[in-house]
Amino acid sequence: MGELILHIGTPKTGTTALQQFFFKNRKRLASHSVIFPSFTKQPKTPLAMNGIVLNRYCQRLSEGRNPSVGIANLEANLRKLSKLLASNERVLLSDETIYNNSNKSHETTSPYWPTMARILDEAGADDVTVVVYLRRQDDWASSHWRQRAKSGYGADSFAAHLNDPQTGHRMNYAGTIEAIERAFGNAVHIVVRRYDRKMFEGGDIYHDFCLAAGIPWDDGYRLPDAAANTSLSLDVAEALRTFQDAAPPKTPLRTDVLIPLARELSKKYPDAPGTTPFDEEATRSLMEPHLEGNRRISERYLDGAPLFSEEYGGRPVWTPNEGRIAECRAAFEEAISQYEPPSNGEGVLLALARKLPEGVKQPLRAVRERLLNR
């Protein structure tokens, strides 16, 4: 029997940290008959996001997206997955883009999850466990907007992001989970976890995931060194989102310069604990359409208590600080103006660090010093 544990996110629920944990502990996991495989490296994707080969193959078949591009690579990876599933050991895959790319899957005409079910059946996955972490929709929307601003994939204002139909689809947790049920029927076991640090079994997300997925906890597991993929403060994200054209996604200027600088600025200008872009009325308006679906999830997969707190007031509300945002933009512009592509084999990071002036603001200097001391 081929047993598959499929971790699908959602995005901004500790997925990067979990993937680093799985990758760092793959030998220890294997000693417990849990295989976290590596596949042929996918473009612009870390090896630890190993479920992306499954997601991209599903996209090719369900949406017809560039069917000839990379198909041989994907099929070879699926053959490897099939062999692993035939080994009678549990296979663990993780990729939050599975959730993102299936965000319209609650529409009954969407082929994504039926296609996924067929792929896994043909690969020999007789027993499928889908693990998904959920955070309250207003918190998810805020964190997702900051992530898009940081990565360079979204230059929309927060209001425009919130009005994007895809944002609405992705917040419909019940629709997506019910689509998985329809596609797999009795062949799937769905595990839903609340993304709430106060509610993690064992005190952290690593213990929580292992307990939820039935993976033995081992005191020999090594934890990631630091929090992964941390969010920017709201003022810094607002400043950074306008630099998408100047520093496109996945380019050295963004990944090696602007994102580290944004993290330093977020340390200088942190949000107050619990800060939200929504006042109480706006939070209630956003959450209202999802309450019934959230209750269905809790009743079916959890303890029947509200999936999330239904108290919406009492939190600090973000008011953009235009002076602070202007200062952050000036720091980003300074970094861009000093950047030159490296020559003669000199690394991008060191080349930039040597170009930065000594008199820049402290966050920029902190990045410079870290780069020079690498």
pLDDT digit string (tens) for 127-175?
999 999 999 999 999 999 999 999 998 888 999 999 998 899 999 999 9
- Asked whether the beta carbons of 93 and 6 are under 8 A apart, the reply is yes
The predicted model gives 202-209 an average pLDDT of 96
- Asked whether the beta carbons of 234 and 318 are under 8 A apart, the reply is yes
The predicted model gives 164-193 an average pLDDT of 94
Query: Hey, how many other C-beta atoms are within 10 angstroms of the C-beta on 315?
Result: 18
* Side-chain half-sphere CA neighbours of 352 within 13 A: 25
Q: Higher pLDDT residue, 320 or 231?
A: 320
Domain boundaries, the chain: 2-213, 234-273+318-372
R_g of the chain computed on alpha carbons: 22
* pLDDT value of position 154: 82
What is the pLDDT of the chain when averaged over all its residues?
88
* pLDDT value of position 65: 63
* pLDDT value of position 86: 94
User: With 70 as the cut, is the pLDDT of residue 361 above it?
Assistant: no
* 3-state DSSP assignment of residue 125: strand
Among the listed residues 250, 245, 280, the one whose alpha carbon sits nearest the alpha carbon of residue 348: 250
* pLDDT value of position 244: 83
* pLDDT value of position 345: 47
* pLDDT value of position 237: 96
- Asked whether the beta carbons of 271 and 234 are under 8 A apart, the reply is yes
- Asked whether the beta carbons of 84 and 37 are under 8 A apart, the reply is yes
Q: pLDDT tens digit string along 272-284?
A: 999 999 999 999 9
User: With 70 as the cut, is the pLDDT of residue 101 above it?
Assistant: yes
- Return the C-alpha torsion angle 341, 344, 347, 350, nearest 10: -80
Among the listed residues 304, 231, 229, 223, the one whose alpha carbon sits nearest the alpha carbon of residue 265: 231
Prediction pTM value? 0.88
Among the listed residues 144, 227, 126, the one whose alpha carbon sits nearest the alpha carbon of residue 186: 126
Among the listed residues 200, 219, 88, 47, the one whose alpha carbon sits nearest the alpha carbon of residue 135: 200
The predicted model gives 195-202 an average pLDDT of 95
Q: pLDDT tens digit string along 13-61?
A: 999 999 999 999 999 999 999 999 999 877 778 889 999 999 989 988 8
Residue 125: both structure tokens together: 């996955």
Percentage of residues in the chain with pLDDT exceeding 90?
68
Give, in degrees to the nearest 5, the angle at Cα 281 between 278 and 284.
85
The predicted model gives 69-87 an average pLDDT of 88
Dist CA 83 CA 306 (whole Å): 41
pLDDT confidence bin for 365, thresholds 50/70/90:
low
Q: Which fold has domain 2-213?
A: Rossmann fold (3.40.50)
Whether a cis peptide bond, with omega within 30° of 0, leads into 10 is yes
